[in-house]
Chain A
Amino acid sequence: GAGVSQSPSNKVTEKGKDVELRCDPISGHTALYWYRQSLGQGLEFLIYFQGNSAPDKSGLPSDRFSAERTGGSVSTLTIQRTQQEDSAVYLCASSWDSLTDTQYFGPGTRLTVL
């Protein structure tokens, strides 16, 4: 596709379960970012990838959150032992490289933890 894609679009899970969120960036984009948007809040940076490496993991809120990127393309954000406060829209963005300012956002995954 032409844009950033994310799956699933919606995820409802029970507290304590693990979830995996997927991001497929624009073809050729080497930089990939994960953000979280909670109700009434701005976008909160989680983690950034340049290629397969993650130079900046500073935004991950706890060790229950992890992310990986393989083949310089698809990325997976994993949340273990989900909590109700993890409920949010998780947005992925990509750009040509880390020096390029324009980040293109995907449609997001709405996560609801019951």
Chain B
Amino acid sequence: QKEVEQNSGPLSVPEGAIASLNCTYSDRGSQSFFWYRQYSGKSPELIMSIYSNGDKEDGRFTAQLNKASQYVSLLIRDSQPSDSATYLCAVRLFGNEKLTFGTGTRLTIIP
């Protein structure tokens, strides 16, 4: 079992709709959770971090964390073509500096 799992996609969502991206992790010692956006040929860019169970909202983005079920999700409201990218889920274990990444979900917003 991979430490961090994501559906590779591609996930196609109409413009203006809600895009829902999911990620599961295997290590219950995971403490910090991150969503990175990576445009083709570019480096990853942090868009959300979440540490506690529940929802965290930032503009059109909402991260959701459920530690009991070991999943973290990212919702993108009012999806725009510029949101088309690969979204990487990353987790960090308590006391461990490195990030463990999933393979990413490729999201395409259809105008």
On whether the beta carbons of B98 and A102 are closer than 8 Å, the reply is: no
A108 within 8 A of B: yes
Task: Kindly report which residue of chain B lies nearest to residue A44, judged by CB atoms.
Answer: B101
* Segment of B11-19, B43-51, B67-75 in the binding face: B43-51
B43 touches A45 (CB 8 A): no
From the candidates A31, A42, A91, name the one contacting B97 in the complex (CB within 8 A): A31
- Chain A residue nearest to B97 (CB atoms) is A98
B1-52 with Cβ < 8 A to chain A: 4, 8, 32, 34, 42-46, 49
Name the A residues within 8 Å of B8 (CB-CB): 40
Task: Report B-chain residues with C-beta under 8 Å of the C-beta of A59.
Answer: 98
B88 in contact (CB, < 8 A): yes
Q: Which of B67-111 contact A (CB under 8 A)?
A: 88, 90, 92, 96-104
User: In the bound complex, how far is the Cα of B34 from the Cα of A104, in angstroms?
Assistant: 12
A105 vs B99: C-alpha distance in the bound complex, in angstroms? 12
Given contacts A42-B4, A48-B97, A56-B97, contact A108 B49 (CB under 8 A): no
Q: Nearest Cβ distance between residue B93 and chain A, in whole angstroms?
A: 11
Of the candidates A35, A58, A106, the one having the most CB atoms from chain B within 10 angstroms of its own CB is A35
Contact code string A92-105 (vs B, CB < 8 Å = 1, else 0): 00000010011111
Q: Top 3 closest A-B pairs, CB basis?
A: A42-B101, A105-B43, A43-B101
Q: Give A residues with C-beta under 8 Å from B.
A: 31, 33, 35, 40-45, 48, 50, 55-56, 58-59, 91, 98, 101-108
A–B Cβ pairs within 8 angstroms, 10 of them: A33-B99, A41-B103, A42-B88, A43-B44, A56-B96, A101-B49, A103-B46, A104-B46, A105-B45, A108-B43
